[in-house]
Amino acid sequence: MAFLLDRSRRLFTRGSDLPALNERGTVTMRATDVRVERGGRAVLDRVSLAVHAGEVLALVGPNGAGKSTLLAALSGDQPVASGAVELDGHPLAHWSPGQMARRRAVLPQQHTVGFSFTARQVVRMGRSPWHRTSREADDDRRIDECLNMCDVRHLAGRPFSVLSGGERARVALARVLAQSTETVLLDEPTAALDLGHQEAVMRIVRDRAGEGAAVVVVLHDLGLAAAYADRICVLDGGRAVADGPPADVLTEELLSDVYGHPVEVFPHPRSGAMLVLPRRGDPAGTP
C-alpha cells in the first residue's frame, strides 16, 4: 500500500521538479579541487572552476591539457578521483539522470547514432528530458527553432548517418539546444565546421548566454575564444594556469609558454578586437 501511495504521489507531482531560471551571475556548476586519474597518472590535478549564468566560459589549452576531461567531469560522464563537482548547488550524485538532463546539456566531440534516425529525430532526442512535464508542449516549436538556428532545416528528413561531419556537428548542436537547459557544455563545437558556420555557431553560443544560460565551451581557436568568451580558463598539463577575462588571460608570455611556440596578441587594425596568432617567419624564412 505504501508503495502505491508513493507511486501515485510521484505521478501527480512529476511536473514539480522543473528547474527554475537562474539569475545572471548565479553559479550553476562548480568544480572544487577536481582530480582525475588514468592509468595511475593525473590528467586533471586540483582544478577548481565556477560556471556562471549569463556567461560564456571557454576552456583552452594545448592537446592533452585536460580540456575535454574537465568538461566530462563537469557533465558527470567522467568519475573524479578526488574533489567535488556541483550542479545547481548540489553534488552531481544528488540528481537522478532525468533531473540532471533537465539542468545541463552536453555536446561531446564525437557524434554517433546507432540507428537510421533522421536529423529531425536526432534533434527531437534533446526534448526527451521534458517528457511528461508541462514543457513537453514546447517540443515541436523548439525543434523547429533549433533546426533553423543551426542551419539544418533542409537536412531534417535525411538519415543522420549519411550527413557530412560538419552537418552532423550542426545537427548535434541543434539537439543540445533543443534540450533547453540552463547550463550548456560544448566540446569543440566548431572543430568540423567551415569558417562561416564556425562564426554562426559562436554567435549562437553568445546568444544563449545572452538569454541567461551558462555556457562552457572547449575551443582550440584562440581567436574565437577572444572574440566570444566572457571568461577563459587556460589548462596546461592537467592544471588551470589562468582564469579570467580574455584581455587578462590571453597574453603573449603566458600563451607562448603554454603552447611551446611564440604567440602574438594584438588589436585588429579596424575593429580593435584581440587577435591571437602564432608568430611566423617572413616568406623568405627569416625567424
Query: Is 202 found in the same domain as 78?
Result: yes
Do 82 and 220 share a domain, yes or no?
A: yes
Q: Are 83 and 31 in contact (CB under 8 A)?
A: yes
Residues 131 and 172 in one domain: yes
pLDDT at 115: 75
| Residue 98 shares a structural domain with residue 26 | yes
Q: In sequence order, which residues have a C-beta less than 8 Å from that of residue 156 and are 6 or more positions away? A: 118, 119, 120, 123, 147
In a domain, residue 123? The reply is: yes
Give residue 226's pLDDT. Answer: 95
CB atoms within 10 A of CB 50: 16
**Same domain? 99 vs 192:** yes
Q: Residue 74's closest CA among 184, 204, 235, 213?
A: 184
Q: What is the pLDDT of residue 108?
A: 93
User: Is the separation of the CB atoms in 193 and 171 below 8 Å?
Assistant: no
Print the domain residue range for 141. Answer: 114-180
Kindly list the strands in the beta sheet with 56-60, ordered across the sheet, starting from the edge strand earlier in the chain.
104-107, 183-187, 214-218, 56-60, 231-236, 239-244
What is the block-wise mean pLDDT of the chain (287 residues), using blocks of 10 residues? 41 58 94 95 96 98 96 96 97 96 94 83 97 94 97 96 94 97 97 94 97 97 96 97 96 97 92 90 56
Residue 207 lies in a domain: yes
* 90 and 191 co-located in one domain: yes
**Please, which residues bridge with residue 57 across strands?**
216, 231
Decide if 158 is inside a domain.
yes
Q: Is residue 82 domain-resident?
A: yes
Closest C-alpha to 107, from 218, 225, 221, 235? 218
What pLDDT shows up at residue 245?
97
Distance CA 264, CA 60 (A): 16
Instruction: Give 128's contacts (C-beta < 8 A, 6+ positions apart).
Output: 101
pTM over 0.95: no
| Under 8 Å between Cβ of 218 and 74 | no
Nearest Cα to 250, choosing from 238, 268, 228, 266? 266
Residue 58 · residue 229 · CB < 8 Å: yes
Q: Let me know whether 31 and 145 are in one domain.
A: no
Q: Which residues of 113-151 are buried (b: 16+ CB within 10 A; e: fewer)?
A: beeebbbbbbbbebbebbeebebeeebeebbeebbebbb
What is the dihedral angle through the alpha carbons of 147, 149, 155, 156, rounded to the nearest 10 degrees?
10
Answer with the one of 180, 213, 233 that is the final residue of a domain: 180
CATH number at residue 189: 3.40.50.300
For the chain, what is the radius of gyration of the CA atoms?
Answer: 20
- Asked whether residue 282 is domain-assigned, the answer is no
56 inside domain: yes
Can you tell me which residue has the cell 521534458?
130
pLDDT confidence of residue 287: 53
